Structure 1
């Protein structure tokens, strides 16, 4: 009899312990969800490389970016940052998809031409107003040339994006918009020094297959509690010595051989879907006006960009891809740049016309 009572008592204690643990965990999870929803920014501020883009610099309150499982970070949807807040000459608006474009439907309108522009802050249009980015001007340019046909050009550029992130955006969401052409403008951020934590995440995502990577990302977001704990335990930044060592190591966010792989991956994915790929080679300010650096040596950072430009041209040549070569477009023309990398409205207009020039023959080619 006493043995039966002891067994029953032991079972009750075990059940009570399990019940208490589950209830406590549920309360903590609920508190974590409330914290993430109402306790300020949904994510910790996002650090993007060492160099600070103008659009990144204005995001001191973490209103521009959100974390993303596929791309590491994305633009937040439905935001409006006026000029007086950005302290620049351009305002920022995003649609419900987190893109600096007018509102669109995911489903392409019947008979419409849809162009998806992927890339970094040069695609995003840092330095120009909402209607003066090259995707916005490309839309107007194509409408003028394709009179009577509906045209939508989607600006999916994200300041800070590398070629790897642009490809991940294409795969995770871009194809769902059924583009007829994909314009790829990457390289400016690929050349930048890699932070140790960036390289670790990049290498891990390259090691995992797409299916495993997305499965891992989904599991990471199942519990809000794990996100809160991870934020508390995450390192708050690198020491100055560690950052300097990383910059001096020569490691790039995406080395040139891997940059080549990323370009080819996008090109071949486009071809399999019957989509026209376009590669854009960007230009830095001194390529338009060499007098701006007369008598001064180029930094290693700027010299390295030539390697990425050369590789983009090589891939376009090998794969017979339309190429918009911006250095040739801006050469010898002053007053086109808002800063050392980003164009102004006039400069972006020249890029839009060049892209239209190389894209139009492919659009007008009769079906095989």
Structure 2
């Protein structure tokens, strides 16, 4: 008997078992594959969303100890709407990122985006500047790319300032592509084919629900949570060996930046990268663990280094925010409200650094 015939005879029982299993699954009413619905229960201003996992609730206003936060009708913390006509002397600047760009702990009127708009207006006379805040808490480059596609480019920005880094390098309970696949299970031809099988779905759905709720707060699904499994072992001492566990692996992060670059060019926008700073950049460490060694690799270090090489190789301007914070006057303990979120003063430092760069590189 030839090898081919032996293989065929070996596969026939397997195929028969699969057919019988599929028939039994349908006869017993096994569930069909379905998307896992993201739920942001209890997360102020946020709602679950299958395309982004979470997003800002449109039209929402809330008051916190820091002041008032208003979300516009398209779900951004910015006054301008994409339908607002662009004036002949108007220059639109768009800033992307996570909660540090959104303005976590900063009241309306004092966010980084608003301070940047005021500084641009003060330093570049003869134009009307509007800064569009595309920052959303927890957003990685994966989510930001989708937000640019759905809303960002409709604003017709002239300048795109990309701050994304911390939510990409963060080691969380999930990686973005895996989580988005749970929310959109039919996203690829292979998944669409598999999901036609009730036998497959009978095994896949319990696993998907387990993954989506792993280490989540009560009544939350597919939201940022506490690392688990191999992620939980990612100590400072080992961070350089587990960087692929980050929400967006480093190579994917660079690919996403490259896609932003291509899209910005297609829409006639200049792109500048300005990776965010955090408290250790100014010698402050409030984490509940010993301070890092001088040569310690922290989660964002490989991303900063790779981003610098990526930008230099493509001629993309780069604003060094960590250096700007390190050189700023005043008590560095007042530059951040916690380990990474800039205070109102910190937002001012960011705005000044971007404007200084644009003045030096018009």
- TM-score, length basis structure 1: 0.68
What is the match of residue 55 of structure 2? 74
What is the CA deviation profile of residues 320-340 of structure 1, one whole-angstrom value per residue up to 9, with x for unaligned ones?
Answer: 112111110011551211111
Partner of 1:263, secondary structure, is helix
Contact 1:281–1:313, Cα closer than 8 Å, also in 2: no
Partners of 2:92 and 2:227 lie apart in 1 by 45
Partners of 2:353 and 2:227 lie apart in 1 by 42
Partners of 1:194 and 1:291 lie apart in 2 by 21
Distance 1:302 1:108, change over 3 A: farther
Contact 2:52–2:180, Cα closer than 8 Å, also in 1: no
Distance 1:358 1:205, change over 3 A: farther
Q: Which residues of structure 1 form unaligned runs of 5+?
A: 1-42, 47-59, 217-229
Partner of 1:82, secondary structure, is strand
Quick check: 1:98 aligned with 2:75? Answer: yes
What is the match of residue 276 of structure 2? 282
Partners of 2:115 and 2:215 lie apart in 1 by 43
Shift of 1:345: 0.9
Quick check: 1:180 aligned with 2:158? Answer: yes
Quick check: 1:89 aligned with 2:84? Answer: no
Contact 1:70–1:169, Cα closer than 8 Å, also in 2: no
Partners of 1:170 and 1:91 lie apart in 2 by 26
The 5 Å alignment of 1:106-117 reads 106-111=83-88, 112-117=90-95
Shift of 1:108: 3.7
Distance 1:207 1:303, change over 3 A: farther
What is the match of residue 238 of structure 1? 214
The 5 Å alignment of 1:35-184 reads 45-46=39-40, 61-83=42-64, 88-111=65-88, 112-184=90-162
Quick check: 1:322 aligned with 2:317? Answer: yes
Hey, which bits of structure 1, 4+ residues long, moved more than 6 A?
203-209, 299-302
Contact 2:159–2:269, Cα closer than 8 Å, also in 1: yes
What is the match of residue 341 of structure 2? 342
Shift of 1:256: 1.1
What is the match of residue 237 of structure 2? none
What is the match of residue 22 of structure 2? none
Partners of 1:193 and 1:286 lie apart in 2 by 18
Shift of 1:96: 0.8
Q: Which has the higher contact order (CA 8 A, sep 6+)?
A: 2
Shift of 1:45: 3.1
Question: Once superposed, what is the RMSD of the aligned Cα atoms?
Answer: 3.4
Contact 1:191–1:308, Cα closer than 8 Å, also in 2: yes
Distance 1:264 1:199, change over 3 A: closer
Partners of 1:97 and 1:74 lie apart in 2 by 10
Contact 1:70–1:172, Cα closer than 8 Å, also in 2: no
Q: As a proportion of its length, which structure holds more helix? A: 1
Contact 1:141–1:352, Cα closer than 8 Å, also in 2: yes
What is the total number of aligned residue pairs between the two structures? 285
What is the match of residue 168 of structure 2? 190
Distance 1:253 1:291, change over 3 A: closer
Partners of 2:314 and 2:80 lie apart in 1 by 34
What is the match of residue 273 of structure 1? 267
Q: Which residues of structure 2 form unaligned runs of 5+?
A: 1-36, 193-204, 217-225, 235-241
